[in-house]
Amino acid sequence: MTFEIFLQHLSNAVSLGSLYALIAIGYTMVYGILRLINFAHGDIFMLGGYFAFYALTTFLMPWWVGFIVAIGLTALLGMSIEKVAYRPLRDSPKVSVLISAIGVSFLIESLGVVIFGGIQKAFPIPDLFGKVMMIGNIYIVSVNFFIPVIAFIFLVGLMYLINKTKTGMAMRALSRDHETARLMGIDVDKVIAYTFGLGSLLAAVGGIMWGMKYPQLYPLMGVMPGLKCFIAAVVGGIGNITGAVLGGLIIGILEIMTVAFLPDLTGYRDAFAFILLIIILLVKPTGLMGENLAEKV
């Protein structure tokens, strides 16, 4: 294998890893605040892709308008799911909310089959993202160049929001202590809704770019990426945003590189994430960047 081919694989790996990172953030943020694994998150990712598809094909919007509309709709949908399926169970045992999340996941998938149809749809790739580019001596499809760039821009925005704004501070406060946050006059329900909106927004960005990278959509496309990104969040240390990004990148790179260097194992490509999960749980159960949340004064 030449160095050029290696770089080509690497660009592919980093772009997949960036997508995983974007989706994993949604899992980790919701878990951080509600201690809930939002099993519907992978399906929200799928919806982001479909919304963009219909915006561009049925409604013939310019691609960037369509993408923005799709991202906005997905964020609103994420917030509605929280309101309808999770908020009424806020004071119920954790397992009830978990079951509700699994229910929402099945509901979205089944509705997807009914409404969108079970047959794959070809994603209408805008020219900008479908070009073959030459950087140095390597050829890459432009979408593989744009994915990490766009993911990075969204990450910077997210970090700013979390670390510098009052809402971000409230999110971090909520991840430790809901009751005290309430005592500060924080509208806890609103902050939780924002968190779902933000996570769903990032998942939608991921879903749209996924649609352009593997140019087809189908209602169950969110299942496997959803599982892998949940694993990415756990590997990085669930509740930790930097950890989720790191976990996503690691899983994406591991997956592509193993297939590239050990083609015999191609059939097992989905298994690597799970093997990594088992290893991490054995060696460092809190994840790479995770901390023990046991502390209480």
At closest approach, how far in Å is the CB of 297 from another protein?
6
* CB count in 10 Å sphere of residue 157: 12
* 92 sits near another protein (criterion: CB under 8 A): no
Q: Name which of 58 and 292 has its Cβ closer to another protein.
A: 292
- Count Cα neighbours of 28 within 13 Å in the Cβ-side half-sphere: 32
Q: How far apart are CA 36 and CA 107, in angstroms?
A: 18
Q: Which of residues 11-70 bind another protein (CB under 8 A)?
A: none
Q: Name which of 183 and 283 has its Cβ closer to another protein.
A: 183
Q: Which string of x and - marks every residue 277-296 that binds another protein (by CB under 8 A)?
A: ------------------x-
Q: How far apart are CA 21 and CA 202, in angstroms?
A: 9
Q: Write b or e for each residue in 11-33: b if 16 or more Cβ atoms lie within 10 A of its Cβ, otherwise e.
A: bbbbbbbbbbbbbbbbbbbbbbb
Torsion sign (Cα): 168, 52, 253, 266 = positive
At closest approach, how far in Å is the CB of 180 from another protein?
4
Chain center to CA of 44: 9
Assess contact for 44 and 204: CB atoms under 8 A.
yes
Q: Name which of 94 and 172 has its Cβ closer to another protein.
A: 172
Chain center to CA of 16: 11
Altogether, the residues listed in the chain come to a count of: 297
Size of the site for another protein (CB under 8 A): 20
Instruction: Map tokens 């009830």 to a residue.
Output: 96
Q: Which string of x and - marks every residue 158-177 that binds another protein (by CB under 8 A)?
A: --------x--xx-xx-xxx
Q: Name which of 166 and 282 has its Cβ closer to another protein.
A: 166
At closest approach, how far in Å is the CB of 287 from another protein?
16
Q: Which of residues 63-82 bind another protein (CB under 8 A)?
A: none
Q: Which of residues 177-236 bind another protein (CB under 8 A)?
A: 177, 179-188
Torsion sign (Cα): 134, 138, 143, 144 = negative
At closest approach, how far in Å is the CB of 77 from another protein?
26
At closest approach, how far in Å is the CB of 173 from another protein?
5
At closest approach, how far in Å is the CB of 239 from another protein?
10
Identify the helix (H) or strand (E) that includes residue 95: helix 94-116
Q: Which of residues 107-126 bind another protein (CB under 8 A)?
A: none
At closest approach, how far in Å is the CB of 194 from another protein?
13
Residues that bind another protein (CB under 8 A): 166, 169-170, 172-173, 175-177, 179-188, 295, 297
